[in-house]
Structure 1
């Protein structure tokens, strides 16, 4: 009987260690439902390549993308993958030394007003979680934007 209790204690210790190891090895990062978000950035109707698009939430969530040779972008959340967590976002757009008109490759400077200001406020709703039809936000920039040009966007479901 004494031998049986020793085996039981060993089994319990083994089970406890196994639970601790598996319980501690899980992913501790928070889960976010990601919504597929795409769009274009153009300068007075001309698609722009190498433009950085940032969606930033007051909760701290961020997603970003860079436009391709046709002015298209797709947003990614750095720690979670392709898409944008559900919520409200402020949109920032900035260029760099390689920002260019997509059709000609001619480099252009984006007005500092776009880089220094929020250009739009958008809401990513939870009811678009299937990802089959991405949310699309197209941004049309101007060479000399006025204050009324900020906070504008076209949304296509």
Structure 2
């Protein structure tokens, strides 16, 4: 469920479909703006870049395979969870960053937790920050500062 708090921040409150969190990997080299000439220096640069690109390409292939595996497992895991009554985890994400999670019980109970959490966020009462990095400067206020050891020094 996608909601906005009174400050206009977008929140997403959902069930976690797999037991792990999806991590996005980004290569740190931008190859788009490099131009290779025809001299020896350019050849050496090309050779070094090729040595760097091969591992990045391998990482990309592994990431794509992980995504395909995820797509194959999500329907199976959903059916297993529903049929065998496994407990669902509900998480709230501020934007796309994980912010809070709780074990919610079976499907019906998790639906109630999602709805209640979304309504609380819309009213301006977000859940406690329990996941990921603390909120950015000037964020939600009290809860972000409670976790920040430097907040007392300011």
| TM-score, scaled to structure 2 | 0.22
| TM-score, scaled to structure 1 | 0.21
Higher percent of residues as helix: 2
Q: Rg bigger for which structure? A: 1
